[in-house]
Structure 1
Amino acid sequence: MPSRLRASLPCLTAAALLALALCPAPAAAGPTATGDTPLALTPPMGWNNWAHYMCEIDEATVVANADALVSSGLAAKGYDTVTVDDCWMEKSRDAQGNLVVDTAKFPHGMAWLGAYLHGKGLKFGIYEDAGSLTCERYPGSGAPEGGGADHYARDARQFASWNVDYVKMDGCNLWVPPGRTKEEAYRDAYNSVARALRDSGRPMVLSASAPAYFQQGEWGGSDWHKVLDWVGETGQLWREGRDIKVYKPSSPATSRWSSVLGNYGYNRWLGRYAGPGNWNDPDFLIAGAPGLTDAESRSQVGLWAMMAAPFILSSEVSELTPGGLAALGNTRLIALDQDPMGRQGAVVSSNATFDVLVRPLANGDRAVAVLNRSAAARDVSVPLADIGLRACTVDAEDLWSGRTEEVSDALTGRLAAHDTALWRLTPHGCAEAVPTGQLNGLGAACADGANTTGVGAVVLAGCTAGGDQRWTLGGGGRVRLDGKCLTAGGGAAVELAECAPGRQAGQSWHHRRDGALVEETSGQCLTAPAAPATADAVAERLRLAPCGDHRADQAWSLPV
């Protein structure tokens, strides 16, 4: 089900400092659970029942999976938060308005369960809903349809009394008062939830599901981008979109790979919102559970780690496949996911077969991943220059095997179907990395400088991983392609032109937190056409237009 002390971190690497004008401005500090307690400074890790058990949940099942986290060694590696999802309560509150535990399912109650988990060295998470009813129509914390008192403060105090550490707050059945938009109603509700948790006297991490209720396809619309821009003021992590496909006992062999790719798809463009205390959440890890091969399990763990995503399992822990358990317990992958810089990786090259992602790390290393989308084994080669490391030698550690080799030209290997290769690169004798790769707009489409529209024209086209889509970010706010600069041209169109020295009118750009790429002199935003170029049509050029309110056609994902 769709489930930030926001750190004001600068772009810390020297390469990012080189591209300072393009780095999103540091966000204002957001609220924390008790006013000054930093929460979730690295992505949360743990277990939740929903994607495996759904409502078939009880005390024995939670305890068994908690015990398995400990006995498997996963808890000691960081998987320490055990969360009970929907359906744990009775259908009505008591006479005082409190939530009532279903004692047929949880005979010892929730305070006991929290104590049991804490005794195991684990944390206790619980589910509620910001609307009047949960998604399965149990009592929610929000105001009833038509208006009335909410239960945010009461429920937060009750959770605090049970020593809850983590609250997953869903967004079903949320009433929109007259005169408020849906987006405004969700912002009001989740701000109220955050305030109630802060005022409860106990620090509790908040997983906010608000963005998931506004998703419209992979790139999303205006309201989705608005919600993504404010949700970090309320919670430390948030679900942006659709659920991961749940396990079906009646058809256990049904593939769930397309669901993993779908959730990766909407999450991969949103790195500008992530950082210590704020995490994009593409939903649960199902690696090692039915429906994924070992290669697909490795891919999910690897891609989630590259995206600094929460590592929250939703499976029967004792029944994980050996391959899935090995991927989930890989300490090199866990260290990547938990890197203290908290910078989400970006897609720097993609086509129908491969995605290449790069993630800057706190100690100056760079992580690189290659996803093989195809159903056949493929040879891969990633030139170091194509990921911003020019005239350079690196120690490349294969994060699956742990083997390290010196590389001075390209990362190479053979990749199984649906598998993902991962390396951690330690440069030596290198200039600082230069952010290099795709400029993505309107989803899996790329700003492209090689076309038949006109000399210097820039269009939006399908991504090919070609050199005509390989941009670099440089000093003076410049965005370069093949030695030329993205420039405000005649009329509203943008073009590629010779780069002038220093900061120059028409060639200096600023990438805002909301994704807008702003030309500094005019204050206008780079704007995508309605559709990418096709082979049989004259492509519409990228243009400048007045910056709108979280316009989807003015949101851009840049290389890192």
Structure 2
Amino acid sequence: MPPRPRAALPCLTAAALLALALVPAPAAAEPTATWDAPLALTPPMGWNNWAHYMCDIDEAKVVANADALVSTGLAAKGYDTVTVDDCWMLKERDAEGNLVTDTVKFPHGMAWLGEYLHAKGLKFGIYEDAGSLTCERYPGSGSPEGGGPDHYARDARLFASWKVDYVKMDGCNLWVPPGKTKEQAYRDAYNSVARALRDSGRPMVLSASAPAYFQQGEWGGSDWHKVLDWVGETGQLWREGRDIKVYAPNAPATSRWSSVLGNYGYNRWLGRYAGPGNWNDPDFLIAGAPGLTDAESRSQVGLWAMMAAPFILSSDVSALTPGGLAALGNTRLIGLDQDPLGRQGAVVSSNATFEVLARPLANGDRAVAVLNRSGSPRDVSVPLADVGLPPACVADAEDLWTGRRTEVVDALTGRLGAHDTAVWRLTPRGCAEAVPTGQINGLGAKCADGASTSGVGSVVLGTCTAGADQRWTLGGGGRLKLAGECLTARAGGLVELADCAPGRQAGQSWSHRRDGTLVEETGGQCLTAPAAPATPDAPAERLRLTACGDHQVDQAWSLPV
């Protein structure tokens, strides 16, 4: 069975909120307007039941968690959309083809629930599926197996009549018509969903789960990359991979940390798709819930904020640990996540112990985070030059967990607990603009490495070590530089490090495209990762240029920002 993403929740912008007041709710019969204003210009925030309650959901639990969002102050800080996930409906539609609320679970119905949430100053989100059945085999919106009419428009009008603000659209049980690939079928289905929501007359944020049904490991396959390339045409956010580990009430102490790291792992390379109105969603925040320590809770909040990921809780809000609640409610971290520039952070360096990320911010500041993957406290030191600040730069550094400010000349330093993440906001003083600096990652999340293991100037793809021979900068003229030399295309398709020529020069100018390809501008060919060595002791093959393919995984690259 495909993975079952249980994703996200939104936060409408001020413009969208104003429009909500101006656009009347349509009748359930025919759409009255088409909504074209941008939605979710910052990452959505809120709550969803799935990772804590799964199908054990009802009106009382939703109301209790909504009330807790308000009473804890989280709602006022932006966690304002409450989404009901799968299992809220009956197993059959009514005689007219409409979805039917399970009134044993939701005795007042969904329109009432929407009114209740709106009266609390919250927004209302609901779950459906683009296939014929939801993942728990309730009625989906898509065509039945074998073909037939779908219910996209009907369901969108019904949701609009309930004053829904956000739709999480899953992707189980989606029929693939003869003559179409699975990827084409999903694209058609989610475009139909998006069109139906636009035509409903009510602005509703769409969380699209399509990519999660194509994920194959951390780096993914060709179809996964294809779906990631188009899913932003349909929704404002998308679940691109496996679910976060759900709460186990019979074993509440079961660790969920590896699940957090796994979801962080596949999301960290996808920053090229993120920006205002389009967000990569690595699934729910479970900080403060059973299965994470306080340090691990801080790490999830910090890493999600660095990745501009949706902040969607899935927990019993009234039972959050004090440490988890403090992390989730930290307004400095929320401000980082919601930075209006909308650039997702990228990996500066990584190895088995530490991971360093950098993220450019709207006012010219630069956020830096350090994850301690190890099970022991560690001393950390991150030179400012390693995160893109020029030599002799002085920066004011704010520790976003404590608010403490210090002046930094050489390096960010500190001691970091096991599984904890430090996050700073750097404000440079009198410095030149920061230069994107960090790893170039390719196939299998490995690093482009300039160590001369295969000849002078050669560049190979190797295990990430956080070494200086893997720290690239993006220079003017489309140049990719390592230790003062430029990545250069040579005859025969080889690439190597060579002296940098001034300006845009043939063989030294590269374009990073939305699909992840690195294209050498003169010849129009793509940087291509070599296949894995046949044996562990085999010498690494050099990177080469080959003809650009269709979302080839060996031609997708993640670059510094």
Check conservation: 2:287, 2:301, Cα contact below 8 A: yes
**2:241 matches 1:241:** yes
- Quote the Cα distance in structure 2 between the aligned partners of 1:162 and 1:110: 6
Does the residue aligned with 1:246 lie in a helix, a strand or coil? coil
Q: Distance in 2 between matches of 1:532 and 1:427?
A: 43
List per-residue Cα deviations over 1:366-402 (Å, max 9, x = no partner): 0000000001100000000111112200000000000
Matches within 5 A, 1:124-523: 124-390=124-390, 391-523=392-524
Task: Measure how far apart 1:35 and its partner are.
Answer: 3.9
Measure how far apart 1:532 and its partner are.
6.9
CA distance in 1, matches of 2:456, 2:223: 36
- The question of whether the paired residues in 2 share the 8 Å contact of 1:35 and 1:198 is answered with yes
Q: 1:452 offset after TM fit, Å? A: 2.0
State the shift of 1:34 in Å. 3.8
Q: Please name the residue that 1:47 is paired with.
A: 47
**Partner SS state of residue 333, structure 1:** helix
Please report how far the alpha carbon of residue 245 of structure 1 lies from its aligned counterpart in structure 2 after TM superposition.
0.1
Per-residue CA distance 1:342-387 (angstroms, 9 max, x = gap): 0000011111101100000000000000000001100000000111
- Distance (Å, rounded) in 1 between the aligned partners of 2:49 and 2:35: 30
Question: Does the Cα contact within 8 Å between 1:460 and 1:532 map onto a contact in 2?
Answer: no
TM-score by length of 1: 0.94
CA distance 1:343–1:70, shift in 2 (3 Å): same
CA distance in 2, matches of 1:283, 1:351: 24
Distance 1:537-1:236 versus aligned 2 partners, 3 A rule: same
Name the aligned partner's letter for residue 245 of structure 2.
K
Distance 1:393 1:533, change over 3 A: farther
Structure 2 Cα separation of the partners of residues 156 and 84 of structure 1 = 16
Bigger relative contact order, structure 1 or 2, given CA contacts below 8 A and separation 6+?
1
What's the CA shift for 1:419? 0.2
Alpha-carbon distance between aligned partners in 2 of 1:359 and 1:223, rounded to the nearest angstrom: 28
- Give distance in 2, aligned partners of 1:36 and 1:129: 23
Which runs of no fewer than 5 residues in structure 2 stay unpaired? 11-32
Unaligned runs of 5+ in 1: 5-32
CA–CA distance in 1 between the matches of 2:223 and 2:536? 32
Is the CA contact 1:210–1:227 (under 8 Å) kept in the aligned structure 2?
Answer: yes
After TM superposition, the structure 1 = structure 2 runs for residues 3-18 of structure 1, keeping only pairs within 5 Å, are 3=7
Match of 1:9 in 2: none
Verify the 8 A CA contact 2:35 2:202 in the aligned structure 1.
Answer: no
- 1:382-427: CA deviation from partner (whole Å, max 9, x where unpaired): 0001111122000000000000000000000000000000000000
Structure-2 separation of matches of 1:532 and 1:276: 40
Provide the secondary structure at the position in 1 that maps to 2:60.
helix
SS at match of 2:224: helix
- In the alignment, which residue of structure 2 is the partner of 1:14? none
TM-superposed CA distance for 1:533, in Å, is 10
Shift of 1:444: 2.5
- Residues of 1 paired with 2:80 and 2:35: CA distance? 24
RMSD between superposed Cα atoms in Å: 1.3
Q: CA deviation at 1:502?
A: 1.4
Q: Distance in 2 between matches of 1:172 and 1:428?
A: 51
What is the rounded CA distance, in whole Å, between the counterparts of 2:38 and 2:504 in structure 1? 38
C-alpha displacement at 1:431, in angstroms? 1.1
Scaled by the length of structure 2, the TM-score of the pair is: 0.94
In 1, Cα distance between the equivalents of 2:382 and 2:533? 26
Show the counterpart of 2:72: 72
SS at match of 2:444: coil
**Mean Cα displacement is larger for which, 249-258 or 492-501?**
492-501
